[in-house]
Amino acid sequence: MPTITTDDGQTLFYTSDGKDGASAMVLSNSLGTTHAMWDAQVAALSRDYRLIRYDTRGHGGSSGPAGDYDLERLARDAINLLDALGLDRVVWCGLSLGGMIGQQLAISAPERLERLIVSNTGAFIGAPDFWNERIRTVQANGVAILADGLIERWFTPEFRDAQPDEVARIRAMLSDTPIDGYCGCCAAIRDMDLRPGIRSAKTPMLVIAGRRDPASPIEKSEEIVALAPDARLELLDTAHLSNIERPEDYTALVLAFVGGQ
């Protein structure tokens, strides 16, 4: 199992597809999922890129301690990964929490990014009481207690009806998320405010939003575009996990953007 060790002794699981000498693209997962949420993108994106997928701290095959995390720590994990793999500059594509990590990188380590794709995400979520209650619930009952409610927010009713096997796969991924990792990342989202920094983030940015996303409404994406100096918005007819619900359309947007179109 390929892993790297972070500067604070944690392990991050990653996968690598495509040619080693090609330009690199990193895919970063959402809260409560793993690198496998990107399975539908691998074939197309690895044709021209060395495609790196990894599990965020405390998710999937990556370790994570108990306690609160913050976006700066999650971004340092990403830098540790790039350093370990010898990657100076990458295209970063992240969804939800992965998009927040990407924004933090654009603020704190812009020299490591060529382009940035953030989807179904925000620069500021707020509502600390909401996140504190979620942390308490998960600490008492495990992540699986959230599955029914989150699946309804992550996918439209039409997709849930048409793709029950895929929904079941993602539900299992969510339910298996370690309590410490899930709660630690909840704290990172609760405490973040990327709005001041994103104003000066000059990395070319594509923001993808789902028209029917209740978890990260379009207004959150519009705020990023209004603040960032070089960002544009594209909409898909999806709920929260847009890359899974409309994989071909999502991948086409990414390829068009990285091709400079």
Put the strands of the sheet holding 113-119 in their side by side order. Answer: 3-5, 11-17, 50-54, 24-28, 90-95, 113-119, 205-210, 231-236
Tell me the β-bridge partners of 25. Answer: 51, 91
Nearest-5° angle of CA 105, CA 106, CA 108? 60
The residue-averaged pLDDT of 26-46 equals: 98
d(CA 156, CA 154): 7
pTM of the model: 0.98
Contact criterion met (CB below 8 Å) for 185 and 174: no
d(CA 119, CA 115): 13
Six-digit token string for 169: 């796969």
pLDDT of residue 126: 83
pLDDT of residue 20: 85
- Looking at the chain, the whole-number percentage of residues with pLDDT higher than 90 is 97
Using one digit for the tens of pLDDT, what is the confidence trace for 87-125? 999 999 999 999 999 999 999 999 999 999 999 999 999
Name the average pLDDT for the chain: 97
Half-sphere exposure of residue 77, counting CA atoms within 13 Å on the CB side?
28
Six-digit token string for 12: 């991050």
d(CA 110, CA 104): 9
Q: Of 197, 183, 174, 178, nearest to 72 (Cα)?
A: 197
Q: Where are the beta strands (DSSP E) in the chain?
A: 3-5, 11-17, 24-28, 50-54, 90-95, 113-119, 205-210, 231-236
Using one digit for the tens of pLDDT, what is the confidence trace for 185-199? 999 999 999 999 999
Tell me the β-bridge partners of 166. Answer: none
Q: Where are the domains of the chain?
A: 3-258
Is 261's pLDDT higher than 50?
Answer: no
* DSSP line for 4-58: EE-TTS-EEEEEEES-TTS-EEEEEPPTT--GGGGHHHHHHHTTTSEEEEE--TT
d(CA 235, CA 238): 9
Using one digit for the tens of pLDDT, what is the confidence trace for 201-234? 999 999 999 999 999 999 999 999 999 999 999 9
Pick the CATH number of 3-258 from 3.40.50.1220, 3.30.565.10, 3.40.1380.10, 3.40.50.1820: 3.40.50.1820
pLDDT of residue 179: 98
Contact criterion met (CB below 8 Å) for 151 and 240: no
d(CA 150, CA 252): 26
Using one digit for the tens of pLDDT, what is the confidence trace for 154-184? 999 999 999 999 999 999 999 999 999 999 9
The residue-averaged pLDDT of 49-77 equals: 98
Q: Of 164, 187, 160, 175, nearest to 60 (Cα)?
A: 175
